[in-house]
Chains A and B, each alone.
Chain A
Amino acid sequence: MGYASRSPWVIHYDGSSCNGCDIEVLATLCPGFDGERFGVVNTGNPKHADIFLVTGSVNEQNIDVVRQIYDQMVEPKVVVACGICACSGGVFHDCYNVIGGVDQAIPVDVYAPGCAVRPETLIDAIVAGVKVLDEKEAALKEQKRAAKKER
């Protein structure tokens, strides 16, 4: 048994999902699956969030919103694509107003497939995301150290 190195806060944005994945994201944090017992808290403020949960694919209208939220988050940060729509466009991949998965807009660290994504998958994805957060944090520290030495 390992332990989680942190309690990640998450921010959720609905790209162009059908709501199926959104309500599963919320259900993950609510009684039943209770992500909150691991300290996973849903926040509305990008600056507070460690993990960005995006549901649904991106289109012309929302691609900027997705980018803006991502840019506002502070490093280290992790993006989880929730549901097959966010991974690749899914059942809507050949719709005229769908550009594709979220990775068309921002770098995605963890893909959580499913239609709708199951809460168990999401918990797995968040746990995987915590690991990525640790790695990114270590890399950031390394960078800072290297920069100091040079000076």
Chain B
Amino acid sequence: MGKATVIPFGPQHPVLPEPLHLDLVVQDETVIDCLPQIGFIHRGLEKLVEKRDYNQFIYVAERICGICAMGHSLGYAETVEELMGVEVPKRAEYLRVIWHELSRIHSHLLWLGLAADAFGFESLFMHCWRLRERVLDLFEKTTGGRVILSVVKVGGVVRDIDGAMLREIVAVLEGLEAEYATIVSTLLTDASIKNRTVGVGVISHEEALDLSMVGPFARASAVNYDCRMLGRGAYGDLSDFQPILDTQGDCYARIKVRCSEVLQSIAIIKELVAKIPTGDIAVDVKGSPADGSQASNVLEQPRGECYYYARGNGSKNLERMRMRTPTSQNLAGMVAALKGCDLADVNMIILTIDPCVSCTER
């Protein structure tokens, strides 16, 4: 046994798109401990509720994270609507979920690409991002933005999608499905990918529960939980919703779960487009949240459950706005998975747990 050494990892590191610093304690080639250090992206945006009123804050909320921007604006809007007892028109709920599921597809494709890059499969990375561009084009056509959509407001949405565009969305997704199938079959059957991922970074079912992991990473360890099954908003109108589970809990299982979730999202969008009701897309919201009123809400982000809490104080500004994002839950799981792994597997494990640092630090 060699002497233990500490290897600093990050914050600027080729495999990390985001600054996260890890002190890896390594003995021979095995990681025996891992200490994460965060704070590089902390902006303190929860405190901005004191300076922005509840309508303006939605634009700050969606900039918590540019990858799940749509989800954060949706989660914030739903929380404030609950706080103020606002009933959102059905059509707006459908449109929100359609955009939210589209952003899940874009987020998952982005991540599959980065995962491919992590094991050195650069062409696969490029293919994932090429497909992702099509989803971004849909965003641009329907909202004007590519990543920050600014399309949700308290009380509804700011834009409608007309029938022709809805059909185009479905057509684009159908086109995407075929090409996506080739990418998935490469990801899941390629021998060199399997060598890198099967049995690596295992998180058992018990560990996942103990560490309260959420999202696709928990579902890869057979934790049967997905906020979408609570049936809020338009999710309640789906004919059937079953979380996608796997039992192995290794890197391979995490990739597999996320691969299938893209197809699930496509199916959800298709169903909602077929069922979407006509009507208004927003209601007027007047007044301010009552003093002492509280509301909380959970939402399934691409990376897992995100919890929102809001408290009013009778003025236009909220008293408190708090989010607990999926990655703050999953970091503990990441540290657990890293302990005992080979040094060369570190980037693979980090990427399959997919920490979103800017969500976590806000």
Contact = CB atoms under 8 A, between A and B. Distances in A.
A21 B66 contact: yes
Contact of B110 (A15, A23, A95): A23
Nearest to B13: A44
B48 A94 contact: yes
A27 B145 CA distance: 14
Given A30-B126, A31-B130, A59 B43 contact: yes
Contacts of B65: 18-20
Given A23-B110, A27-B133, A32-B130, A61 B66 contact: no
A17 B64 CA distance: 9
Contacts of B39: 61
Interface in A1-44: 13-24, 26-27, 30-32, 43-44
B273 interface: no
A19 B132 CA distance: 16
A61 B130 CA distance: 35
Contacts of A17: 41, 66, 358
Interface string B125-154: 111011011001000000001111000000
State the main secondary structure of chain A at its contact with B: loop
A17 to B, nearest CB: 7
A94 B45 CA distance: 9
Contact of A97 (B43, B60, B127): B43
B14, B39, B66: which has the most chain A beta carbons within 10 Å? B66
A27 B148 contact: no
Interface residues of A, number: 37
A19, A31, A95: which has the most chain B beta carbons within 10 Å? A19
A29 to B, nearest CB: 9
Contacts of A97: 42-44
B94 interface: no
B148 A20 contact: yes
A123 B41 CA distance: 25
Nearest to B127: A31
A137 B13 CA distance: 28
A37 to B, nearest CB: 12
Contacts of A13: 12, 19
A91 interface: yes
Given A31-B129, A32-B133, A116 B147 contact: yes
Contacts of A15: 41
Contacts of B19: 13-14, 62, 65
20 contacts: A16-B40, A16-B41, A16-B361, A18-B65, A18-B69, A20-B65, A20-B148, A32-B133, A32-B136, A45-B14, A59-B42, A62-B11, A62-B19, A62-B40, A65-B19, A92-B45, A92-B48, A92-B63, A96-B44, A115-B63
Given A61-B40, A95-B48, 16 more contacts: A16-B43, A17-B358, A18-B65, A18-B358, A20-B67, A20-B148, A21-B66, A23-B147, A27-B133, A57-B43, A62-B11, A91-B59, A92-B43, A95-B45, A96-B44, A96-B47
Interface of B: 11-14, 17-19, 39-45, 47-48, 51, 59-60, 63-67, 69, 110, 113, 125-127, 129-130, 132-133, 136, 145-148, 356, 358, 361
Q: Which 3 A-B pairs have the closest CB atoms?
A: A20-B66, A44-B14, A32-B133
